[in-house]
Structure 1
Amino acid sequence: MAPVFSPDIIARVKDETDIVEIVRGQVSLKAAGAVYKGLCPFHKEKTPSFIVTPARARYHCFGCGAGGDVFSFMMETEGVTFPEAVEILARPLDIDLSDWLREDENEGERRAFFRANGVAADVWKEALWDDPAGRQARTYLTGRGFSEKVLREFSVGWAPASSPWLQRKLAAAGVDEDLAQQADLMRTGNGGELFAYFRSRVIFPIKSISRQVTGFGGRVLGDGEPKYLNSADSPFFSKGNLLYGFDYSRMAVAREKAAILVEGYLDLMALVQAGFNNVVATCGTAFTPGQARLIRRGAPAVYLLFDGDKAGRKAAVRSADIALREGLEPRIASLPMGQDPADVVMAAGREGIADVLKDAPGYVEYLRRLAEPKWDDRTVKERAVKQILATVGGIADPLRREYVLQETAEIFGLGIDLLRSMVEAAAAAEPKKGVRPAQQAATAGKNRDAGGKLALEAPTRRARTRVKPLARINATGIEADLFAHILMDASGRAAAAFLKAQGDLEFASPCAGTLACEIAEWRVAHPAGAGGSLREFVLQRWNLVGDNDYRAFVTGLLDRPELPANTDFAQVARDCLQRLQRARRQPALRANLTETSGVGPEDG
């Protein structure tokens, strides 16, 4: 659990921070009346559509919809968590957060774990550049074409063969034997002796999105086995939920609206050195749904750039299946047989990789190309189609499912109705292997922490009770008006009126359903309107959520012009609810919802 700050200290840090100066660290701004304008840091553009409004302490891009406050800007541009953003912004203000901070019992252990890994990363990096024992590794890496700049950028190191060497270095920095073992830096042998887990290996620190060293990958020089070693999974390190290099490439992934996924640490550095900054790599594992979701938060597409051999092709198909199921658009690049991305960079430079990416087909077309040499063999085509349909059965978004089915019908010359019936038959035969419910993707957790306070958890998991399961249409204007007025009302009366009259109303937008649940949570935390601004409550929790659609929805509500103080917000909320309830009873609208979402009146 992350540190939790009180609303008062969060408001103080926000009020005392100059958002213009913070944004200027990333964006060249020019004054334009009451606002400042510049090129958006979150997407490519030639004409400025990004504004900062000092009076409201907010930023907004009219091009991509990004927006928020100074905390969200730090989180998006620096790759830090909300508590870390608060700490970073508080430092220059000389605000002591210690009196406002409550940590859970695991926080100290977590920080010690990261500190131990940070110490190890530093001593191994020094060994690569300053220790005579690192000369062999330097020769190997420079021989592969890597510059000192890129090696230092990714904190590459060298683990000498001596276990006592590492033990002495760790002890000198205050990392004792127990902590070294907990961090998987040292292990105990059969005879009870301590030994360094990584020995005589090039070291690649694996960092979280907030740039903390969470684990390591180690590559042997030459042809020794195993070729790679990786830190063991622990409560603070999960390889399947991390991407190597994502701390470096996150902003580039968002700007390019696509990530390039490679399998190896050296492949990633080779592409970065060639000028591709939107590259990530798996951490010694096959591509996982958790890694796909990391990419999906920042970009809609992923290029799979794996080795050009049979194993690489199999891994690409498996990864494309996962990407589609998790809402990504995969493109599968084909490398020459026996070559990896680093080989292509050495042989053909940036242009070689660019050509491969340009020709990368989607999932369905890639399977057709694999089947093409035996196109006259009906069983080969059937196998490819069945593989595609198995993937389609796991795609939650009905619109995306339909696109893939239509593409399959066109490419393989089959009837769309036949393909639909095959997917439906498979789902009926094996219901547990059908569409993964969206709510299972969110981590279940208690609503309250050990201290009785409402836990700051991602709100998306709670929205399922109010939103049609497959609905993905935009919020109506009525819903937007309703929630805008509720958030503008400092008295909380509009929120109370909403909760009282809401009933079993279903929302067309998942974001609206999520916000409705947030309002209910706020009322539980602040009964009878006792303290605590709803607006600040929503913003605090919003900053902890990686759901860009929800952020854009809330930002749009908060960016509306302020209304006169004598506005009857509660009455407006009641009026909006009545209009929504009338609209939901209209057959035409229900039919529209059914057609859009694929869910009928009896579903959900």
Structure 2
Amino acid sequence: MSGKIPKYFINEILFRTDIVALINTKINLKKSGKNYQTHCPFHNDKTPSFTVSYEKQFYYCFGCNAHGNVIDFLMNYEHLNFIESIEELAILHGLDIPFEKKNIIERNNYSKKQKVYSLIEKLSNLYKKNILITNTPYQYLKKRGISNNMINFFSIGFSSSTWSAFSKKLNISKKFEKDLLNQKIISINQYKKIYDPFQGRIIFPIFDQHNRTIGFGGRSINNFSPKYINSPETNIFQKRKQIYGLNQVIKKYKKPEYLLVVEGYIDVIMLTQYRIKYAVSSLGTSITKEHIQVLFRNTDTIIYCYDGDHAGRDAAWRALKITLPYISDKKNMKFIVLPKDEDPDTIVQKEGREKFELRINKALTMSKYFFKNILKNIDLSSNDDKFHLSVRTLPLINSIPSDTIRIYFRQRLARIIGILDDNQLEKFLYEEERKNENVTFQIKKTPMRILIGLLIQNPCLSELVPSIKKFKNIKIKGLSIFLEILKTCLNNPTFNTGQLLEFYRDKKIINIIKILSKWDHMIVQEEIQNMFTDLLKNIYKKDLEQKRDDLISKERLIGLTKYEKEEIWSINKKLCKK
């Protein structure tokens, strides 16, 4: 994968990026000695085991074994592929990716994406301009109670009922129109007329984390169906991943104490207008696991506040089931149950900010909401109902990764259905969980592996090697890998561990490099150089001993030449010095 982007550019990106600073924008790091630590974002971590090294530009979790450089972190934390991770870092540093000429497809895809970003941004500005000069949609928003400040803050726009009217009113150029057609942002209908999929609709631009417009939501103002539509899926817009309003929240609050998830665009806008913080929406669609991952990357608490009708209650229960596998001792969810036929938009206008904030403060905890719902229409005096309850509920409880929360839920369920012996339940749970414990693969520590590991973790040690030629004819297992890495370090004297990992990402030896990059050698920092040089001397010494032993064996069998006898003498002399 990395071959599609020049190595020099990847190295430049890694050189410019401070892994500590970047990770600290996602999760809070605390200084611990010369490194930084926090709870691991990749598993349910009870004590901080996630370590980030500024010196090595490398992260490692002692709990789940997650490790790598800043590119690996983005791939695993943000769920990006390799090229998307490079794009993220390129945007951070204001750089364009110089794809290799032979990789025409990737280069074209990247150029197309940049073109689409530009076109959508321009179109969004036209929509925004149009709403200010078109009375009907403007009055519609006013009637809904939306202020001018919110229209500007959320960049709300309007697409006229026909493209020709829109184009003429805003003086759209033929070139821009042609570009929109080529990128299929607008199209031509069966009557050979240019057609905007959003025409006749209020436009809600959707932004990514870099504040780029990536798509739109549209709401009809004449009640034609469907009421709401979103942009089609593209290489820059995936509905299952996008959260409306999140960009506006994160710009103001780095780590909000919660995110209030509502159903619609106008719900988000109206709550924001009433100074209800942290309101976001999943684009009017059902919540997905990708949405959950995005939400929990930005907060520790999700509060669901769906409409008070039957569809809203169903949506809340679906959200609970999808969120359970992401719950931990630090990540949780709550629920606000609105009165029948109310939604966040209408109720905040009726009640005002203070009363709505009381609803937030009194939001139902996950366990209260869970058991309140599963006990609906259950007759606990009926064994059949108890059996049905346990069959329906246990798979949901078992999906919770947190041991503490899962056991609590099981115990509560057990008491509800009449199992009172908690000790028996705990014994069963312990035995089951023991069966599923992961056994970490260990490889034996040898002097050569320690030597390679020290070099990977401290590439500057390559300066201590007097000459690669000295090891040219030595035959020791693993030496070829050491010399390969040594050569790379000498050719790239500024490399850190993160850059070294990236250099070998697609090479055969990457797996052994990954394993050795996280080894704890139990050597104090001050003694690393001495240990490294001692191991180097040991390799050379072993080679000399092997050559001497071979010559002695030969002497016993067939005798030695004068030159070979002199060689034994020379070897013994060298060994005496060591």
Answer yes or no: same fold by TM over 0.5: yes
Q: 1:252 to 1:569 in 2, by over 3 A?
A: farther
Measure, in 2, the Cα distance between the counterparts of 1:176 and 1:334: 46
Measure, in 2, the Cα distance between the counterparts of 1:122 and 1:2: 36
Matches within 5 A, 1:392-471: 392-396=397-401, 398=403, 400-410=405-415, 414=419
* Unpaired stretches in structure 2, ≥5 consecutive residues: 26-33, 35-52, 59-67, 465-475, 504-516, 536-578
1:268 partner letter:
V
CA deviation profile, 1:123-162 (whole Å, cap 9, x unmatched): 1011112x2x2x2222222332322222222211111112
Please say if 1:333 is aligned against 2:336: yes
Measure, in 2, the Cα distance between the counterparts of 1:563 and 1:202: 65
2:499 corresponding residue in structure 1 = 537
CA deviation profile, 1:521-556 (whole Å, cap 9, x unmatched): xx89x7564255352327979xxxxxxxxxxxx99x
2:127 corresponding residue in structure 1 = 124
Alignment coverage as a number of residue pairs: 449
Measure, in 1, the Cα distance between the counterparts of 2:139 and 2:257: 36
SS at match of 1:566: helix
Q: 1:336 to 1:298 in 2, by over 3 A?
A: same
TM-score (norm 1): 0.59
Matches within 5 A, 1:480-499: 488-491=457-460
Measure, in 2, the Cα distance between the counterparts of 1:178 and 1:301: 42
Matches within 5 A, 1:157-236: 157-166=157-166, 172=173, 174-177=175-178, 179-180=180-181, 182-183=183-184, 185-236=185-236
Give 1:568 shift.
2.6
Give 1:338 shift.
0.8
1:490 partner letter:
P
Contact persistence 2:69–2:502 (CA under 8 A): no
1:545 corresponding residue in structure 2 = none
Matches within 5 A, 1:367-382: 367-370=370-373, 374=377, 376=379, 378=382
Q: 1:471 to 1:147 in 2, by over 3 A?
A: farther
Matches within 5 A, 1:119-158: 119-129=122-132, 131=133, 133=134, 135-158=135-158
SS at match of 1:105: helix
Give 1:345 shift.
1.5
Bigger Rg, structure 1 or 2: 2
How large is the RMSD of aligned CA atoms in angstroms?
A: 5.6
Give 1:115 shift.
2.2
Q: 1:571 to 1:413 in 2, by over 3 A?
A: farther
Give 1:286 shift.
0.7
Give 1:346 shift.
0.9
CA deviation profile, 1:421-461 (whole Å, cap 9, x unmatched): 9x99xxx9xxxxxx9xxxxxxxxxxxxxxxxxxxxxxxxxx
Select which of 379, 391, 395 maps to 1:390.
395
Select which of 346, 349, 353 maps to 1:346.
349
1:111 corresponding residue in structure 2 = 114
Measure, in 2, the Cα distance between the counterparts of 1:160 and 1:419: 68
Q: 1:569 to 1:253 in 2, by over 3 A?
A: farther
1:234 partner letter:
T
Measure, in 2, the Cα distance between the counterparts of 1:539 and 1:139: 58
Q: 1:418 to 1:315 in 2, by over 3 A?
A: farther
Contact persistence 1:406–1:416 (CA under 8 A): no
2:572 corresponding residue in structure 1 = none
SS at match of 1:256: coil
2:264 corresponding residue in structure 1 = 264
Contact persistence 2:374–2:393 (CA under 8 A): no
Contact persistence 2:242–2:282 (CA under 8 A): yes
Q: 1:530 to 1:292 in 2, by over 3 A?
A: same
SS at match of 1:214: strand
Measure, in 2, the Cα distance between the counterparts of 1:539 and 1:210: 27
1:317 corresponding residue in structure 2 = 317
Contact persistence 1:254–1:299 (CA under 8 A): no
2:308 corresponding residue in structure 1 = 308
Matches within 5 A, 1:40-51: none
Q: 1:311 to 1:385 in 2, by over 3 A?
A: farther
Give 1:323 shift.
0.5
Give 1:403 shift.
3.7
SS at match of 2:131: helix
Give 1:291 shift.
0.9
Contact persistence 2:5–2:98 (CA under 8 A): no
Contact persistence 1:488–1:535 (CA under 8 A): yes
Measure, in 1, the Cα distance between the counterparts of 2:364 and 2:226: 33
Measure, in 2, the Cα distance between the counterparts of 1:290 and 1:248: 19
Give 1:69 shift.
11
Contact persistence 2:56–2:458 (CA under 8 A): no
Measure, in 2, the Cα distance between the counterparts of 1:538 and 1:257: 38
Give 1:306 shift.
0.3
* Unpaired stretches in structure 1, ≥5 consecutive residues: 26-34, 36-52, 59-67, 429-434, 436-467, 495-499, 503-522, 542-553, 573-604
Contact persistence 1:405–1:419 (CA under 8 A): no
SS at match of 2:187: strand
Q: 1:370 to 1:398 in 2, by over 3 A?
A: closer
CA deviation profile, 1:39-77 (whole Å, cap 9, x unmatched): xxxxxxxxxxxxxx999999xxxxxxxxx999999999x
Select which of 568, 581, 591 maps to 2:531.
568
Higher mean C-alpha deviation, range 142-151 or range 161-170: 161-170
Select which of 353, 356, 361 maps to 2:359.
356
CA deviation profile, 1:74-98 (whole Å, cap 9, x unmatched): 999xx9x76456555655xxx8975
Give 1:380 shift.
6.7
Q: 1:214 to 1:88 in 2, by over 3 A?
A: closer
Measure, in 1, the Cα distance between the counterparts of 2:224 and 2:99: 53
Give 1:406 shift.
2.9
SS at match of 1:104: helix
Contact persistence 1:268–1:279 (CA under 8 A): yes
1:536 partner letter:
G
Q: Which of 1 and 2 has higher RCO (CA within 8 Å, sep 6+)?
A: 2
2:150 partner letter:
V
CA deviation profile, 1:284-310 (whole Å, cap 9, x unmatched): 321111111112223333111100111
Overall identity of the aligned pairs, in %: 22
CA deviation profile, 1:173-219 (whole Å, cap 9, x unmatched): 84344643644x32332344331111111111122222222221111
Contact persistence 1:204–1:265 (CA under 8 A): yes
Contact persistence 2:217–2:229 (CA under 8 A): yes
Measure, in 2, the Cα distance between the counterparts of 1:294 and 1:570: 47
Measure, in 2, the Cα distance between the counterparts of 1:562 and 1:276: 51
Give 1:567 shift.
4.3
1:151 partner letter:
I
Measure, in 2, the Cα distance between the counterparts of 1:316 and 1:286: 9
CA deviation profile, 1:395-434 (whole Å, cap 9, x unmatched): 455555334323433566545879979x99xxx9xxxxxx
1:405 partner letter:
R
SS at match of 2:529: coil
Contact persistence 1:304–1:330 (CA under 8 A): yes
Q: 1:55 to 1:471 in 2, by over 3 A?
A: closer
SS at match of 2:108: coil
